[in-house]
Copies of this chain bind each other. A is one copy, B any other.
Amino acid sequence: MSAIVASGMTRFGKRKEDLLSLGGESALPILRKYRSDIDFLLVSNSYSGEFNSISGINTLLATYLSLDGVPSLRVDNTSGSGGTAIFLADMLIKSGQARAVLVTGLEKMSTMDTRHVTSVIASLLPEEERRQGGPSLPSLAALLAQLYMRRYGASRESLAQVSVKNHRNGAANPYAHIQKEVTLEEVMQSPVVAEPLRQYEFSPISDGGAASVLVVGDGGDAESFTDRPVYIKAVSLASDSASVTARGGDLMGLEAVRRAGRNAMRLSGISKPDFAELHDMATVLELVQMESLGGLCEPGGEAWKMVLEGETEVGGEHACEHQRGGPQFKGPSDRCQWRGAGRGGLLSDKERMRW
């Protein structure tokens, strides 16, 4: 078993600092105490080449953090990169390859305008599919929203309510990109991005960094680092087809989320998480992920009702925190997220925070 004993985070948003500085801002405070313990560095980053004209970000960051000589690598799994890095860190520790892993995640996207960023991100869809149908990630989310509402009779307001809730959480979070509450009316009157979804239902383009130290959790090791370690009972990683049109089965059951969730719950012995942190870039994905994950609600159109009934609010029966792209909608606080994860003991790729 591994355990998280320290973590740090930058404020997210349009930051003037460069990529390495954001990594430093999140990691240096915890390294003051733990630098000499770190024996592996994982750097979660997808776009340093495209957005920052930097390659070899892991060795550059190691040097920046005065961790020269510590073995390192860069982990990329697009939106799942942070969770994938946690998966690897946990494995490094469990397999005895490392005793203290610094996991960092950093991205600086605001170097390009929205059109370029969207185009870079859309390049994770198969080229043939892009040529034929011209989908982007927002347009796919919009299609899913239409399908969700039509099939389950979900109200348009229920989707927007996800945004209201997450903005409320963001307003209480000093690290969030957007720290203001919005009303249902404001969400519904924000500009249309892809029918029916509107601007306030999407994540913004954001810069930021986060860092955590994972250590051996068995035998009391973690307690020598902190008196409040967060033990990781299970990490699970799953993938689905890059081609949405080629996905078998039901688009409404996100297969990767379903598998990762089932597996993490099986491994951890937890069947009813009391906190879930989901990640994707549009409101509708919070609902569809809730239904795919298992343990939070049944599939088949339950999630939108739970949102309207306030069950996914902080303090609600199934508190759901939705990380969307840049962490616009971070929870009440960084600490709360860790505690939540600790309480539930459940960290699986798709619901793990994005960094």
Residue contact B49 to A243, C-beta cutoff 8 Å: no
Residues of chain B lying within 8 A (CB to CB) of residue A243: 63
Residues of chain B lying within 8 A (CB to CB) of residue A68: 239-242, 246-247
Name A68's closest neighbour in chain B (CB-CB): B241
Residues of chain B lying within 8 A (CB to CB) of residue A71: 237-239
Task: State how many copies of this chain the complex holds.
Answer: 2
Task: Tally chain A residues at the interface, Cβ within 8 Å.
Answer: 49
Stretch at the interface among A24-32, A120-128, A160-168: A120-128
Name A45's closest neighbour in chain B (CB-CB): B76
Q: A50-B55, A58-B76, A59-B124 are in contact. Are A255 and B97 (CB under 8 A)?
A: no
Name A120's closest neighbour in chain B (CB-CB): B55
Considering the chains assembled together, what is the distance between the CA atoms of A259 and B68 in angstroms?
A: 13
Q: Please, what's the 1-or-0 string for A123-147, where 1 marks a CB less than 8 Å from any CB in chain B?
A: 1101100000000000000000000
Name A56's closest neighbour in chain B (CB-CB): B124
Residues of chain B lying within 8 A (CB to CB) of residue A158: none
Q: Name the one of B91, B241, B259 contacting A92, with C-beta atoms under 8 angstroms.
A: B91
A226 to chain B, nearest CB (A): 25
Q: Please, what's the 1-or-0 string for A53-92, where 1 marks a CB less than 8 Å from any CB in chain B?
A: 1111011101100001111111111100000100010011
Q: Name the one of B53, B94, B256 contacting A95, with C-beta atoms under 8 angstroms.
A: B94
Residue contact A242 to B56, C-beta cutoff 8 Å: yes
Residue contact B238 to A126, C-beta cutoff 8 Å: no
Considering the chains assembled together, what is the distance between the CA atoms of A88 and B241 in angstroms?
A: 23
A47 near B: Cβ within 8 Å?
A: yes
Considering the chains assembled together, what is the distance between the CA atoms of A76 and B50 in angstroms?
A: 14
A106 to chain B, nearest CB (A): 14
Contact residues of A with B, CB < 8 Å?
46-47, 49-50, 53-56, 58-60, 62-63, 68-78, 84, 88, 91-92, 94-95, 97, 120-121, 123-124, 126-127, 237-243, 246-247, 255-256, 259
Q: List 12 A-B contacts (CB under 8 A).
A: A46-B55, A47-B49, A54-B124, A55-B120, A56-B123, A56-B242, A62-B241, A62-B242, A69-B256, A71-B238, A73-B77, A73-B88
